[in-house]
Copies of this chain bind each other. A is one copy, B any other.
C-alpha cells in the first residue's frame, strides 16, 4: 500500500504476462477486446500473452453454446490448492480449485488451547492426504497451501507471533512445515484476514473500495480490506478489535486489560453468562439444559432464544449491541462501504446481525452510514478455508510468479508496449 510497493509492482516487477493474467483472474471471463481496454496494452501484446497463458494451461477459453466470441478465464482445473482454517474449537481443511471453488473439505472439533503445532499440523497433513485420495487429485498439481490461525502472524516468515490462544505455537514455522511436507509454497495469515480475502473473491464484497470482515466467535476480530488488499498495519496488528476497551467496563480480560470487547461479547462471555443464568435459575431453559455433561455454549444460548427464553435472547442481544457499539466508532473513523459479519456466533442468525446493524446506525454519523451495508457472510463456516485458498492464489499468481510460471524472458517480458 506504500508508494514504494506501488512503483515496484507496476514498473519493476510487473511482467506484461502477469498483468494480463491478473486482469483475467480478477475480471474474467473476458474477451480479448476487454483485456485490451482494461490493460491499456496493444492488441498484439495482449494476443501474444494470452496465447502464452493458454499454452501453460493457466487460462482457458470458455465456450458458451451459441456464441462465437472467445472468452478467457482462469482454467480452474489446471491445479488445486489447499485451504486450512485453524480455529479455537474447530479445524477445517479443504481442497479447492484455482478459482477457490471447494472440491472437497472436512471440518472437525479441535481443542486448540490443548494442542501444540505438531499435533495439529500432522492432523492437517493427514486430512489433506485423505481428501486428495478421495478426489483423485494429482499431488503434482498442488499449487500451494494457505492457513489461517486465530492470532497475530508474521506474514513474511509464516509464523505465529505470541498468539494468546495458541500456547506452544509462538514462532513455530507453520508455513515451512507444510511447505516441506508437501513440496509446495505455503502461507500463513491471521484468520480474519483470510476470511476477508475469501469474501472479496467468493462472497459479496468485490475488489473496490474498503470493507471490514468482522468475526464474532470465541474471539472477535476484523479483517480490513482496501482496494482489494489486506491492510495489516505497522506491526501486522490491524483489525484487533476484540481488545478494544469498552469505557467504564471492568471485566478482566485474558490479555490483562479490562473491559475488552471480546471479554464482554465473545463466545466465552456468552457461555459464562449462560452458566450463571442456569445456576441462579433466571433462565428456565438453561437451568433445564445445563445439567452435568452439557457444556454451556453460544449455540445452546441461541437454541434457548429460539425457544423464547428471554434471558438467552438478552444475552445474545447484549453481545450484538456491544459489538455494534464498537463498530459504530470504527465506522465514524474509517467510513467503510460494507461490513460483513461472520464467525460462530454471528452464524447463529440474522437477528444477531440485525442488532449489530441497529447499534451501528444509531451511533455513527448519518453521512458515514448513508450507504453502509451490514450483512452476514454468504460463505458460512467455510469462510476460513475458502479465504486461506484465496491467500495462496493471490501469492502464487502475483505478477512476478506468473511471469516465472510461463518462463518469461526476464528482459523482453518487462517491456510494456502501450502504443
Chain A residues within 8 Å of B, Cβ to Cβ: 1-7, 10-12, 19, 26, 38-41, 152, 161-162, 207-210, 222, 224, 226-228, 231-241, 243-249, 255, 257, 325-326, 328-330, 332-337, 363, 365, 367-368, 370-372, 411, 414-419
Contact = CB atoms under 8 A, between A and B. Distances in A.
A7 B371 contact: no
Contact of A332 (B209, B231, B243): B243
Given A39-B11, A40-B11, A247-B325, A337 B2 contact: no
A367 B162 contact: yes
A97 to B, nearest CB: 23
Contact of A237 (B10, B152, B367): B367
Contacts of A228: 2-3
A208 B238 CA distance: 16
Contact of A233 (B7, B257, B329, B334): B334
B3 A227 contact: yes
A245 B12 contact: no
Contacts of A233: 210, 334-336, 368
Q: Which of A6, A208, A335 has the most CB of B within 10 A?
A: A335
9 contacts: A3-B207, A3-B208, A6-B6, A210-B233, A222-B333, A235-B371, A238-B335, A244-B332, A416-B416
Closest 10 CB pairs of A and B: A233-B335, A234-B337, A11-B40, A247-B247, A238-B335, A12-B40, A237-B368, A10-B10, A1-B227, A2-B227
